[in-house]
Homo-oligomer: A and B are copies of this chain.
Amino acid sequence: MEPAVLNVRDFSQDHRWLSINTATVRKQWPLDRIINECAQRGITAIAPWRDQVAAVGLDKIARQLRSSGVQLSGYCRGGFFPAPDAAGLAAALDDNRRAIDEALTLGAPCLVLVVGSLPGALTGQPLHKDISRVRNEVRDGIAATLQYARQMGMPLAIEPLHPMQAAERACINTLEQALDLCDQLDPEQTGALGVAVDLYHVWWDPKLAQQIQRAGRQRLLAFHVCDWLTPTRDLLNDRGMMGDGVIQLRQARAWVEAAGYAGFAEVEIFSDHWWAQPGETVLDTCIARHKAVV
């Protein structure tokens, strides 16, 4: 089903380029246990979430990462800029600065931004419907955050989210839209601002190959994999394990690598099914599928 030969790094012999987004086993284990389980399996990178870090303690996690030799492929997450009022916006900008500080403490290569959308929509009570307005607010929020991020040397990775999450979670919904924003806010392509390409969100896009090529090495800060199931039974928590769905993972990896990306393939699976399995099974399956189909 995939073209026979694609010009990609060989993942079949080991899993040195595998990273685990720690949401994948968040229901099974706290973060310190996740780090140990990864280290025991030779998984050398993770992308943790702020709440998971906070639950164990930032400094403790930072020490554990150093001692275990596990590095980060990204830190989840900043963003959620649109707010009901000026106080809310100020709080959001503060919070993004704290996320940058934490990312630095943990040695993350980038802070991933889920940019937010209509205020209140996430709790089912959108305060307004003006998606153009929140897109402008997101632009301004990223611009403000980017100033601090540049000072601190922490790259920001805008993650376009699937259009089915446009109302609640992110009003940036295509790679083209994210890259337009990068060009606007960082025209010199300094590396301070780029994108996180999560195939779950963008696999369907007829312009995907073209926009990955456009992004290039300077903008491609993270690469996330999982799979799109048919049928998909839930808009949020029914992602598939790599190989169980219809995304042409290796084709997409060939595209990002041709564009200059040479980092981790980060597995991020929000799934009621996989959260109900033993964490060991999930990690072992991630390793096997990483070698076989990513």
Contact = CB atoms under 8 A, between A and B. Distances in A.
Interface of A: 1-2, 118, 121-122, 124, 126, 128-131, 135, 162-164, 166-168, 173-174, 177, 203-206, 228, 230-233, 235, 246-248
A167 B230 contact: yes
B246 A173 contact: no
A130 B232 contact: no
Given A173-B204, A206-B135, A129 B168 contact: no
A248 B130 contact: yes
Contact of A206 (B168, B174, B230, B246): B174
Contact of A118 (B135, B235, B246): B246
A4 to B, nearest CB: 13
Contacts of A163: 162-164, 204-205
Contact of A247 (B1, B129, B173, B235): B129
A166 B174 CA distance: 14
Q: Which 9 A-B pairs have the closest CB atoms?
A: A166-B204, A163-B204, A164-B164, A121-B230, A129-B246, A177-B206, A1-B128, A167-B246, A167-B230
A230 B164 contact: no
A123 to B, nearest CB: 9
A233 B233 CA distance: 9
B1 A246 contact: no
Contact of A164 (B2, B168, B177, B235): B235
Contacts of A247: 129
12 contacts: A121-B230, A124-B231, A126-B230, A129-B246, A130-B248, A131-B203, A163-B164, A164-B232, A167-B204, A167-B228, A167-B246, A232-B235
A-side interface mostly: loop
A174 B126 CA distance: 25
Contacts of A2: 129
A164 B162 contact: yes
A117 B249 CA distance: 18
Given A130-B248, A162-B163, A168 B230 contact: yes
B131 A248 contact: yes
A112 to B, nearest CB: 20
Contacts of A128: 1
Contacts of A248: 129-131
Contacts of A230: 118, 121-122, 124, 126, 167-168
Contacts of A162: 163-164
A206 B131 CA distance: 9
Contacts of A166: 203-204
Contacts of A203: 131, 166
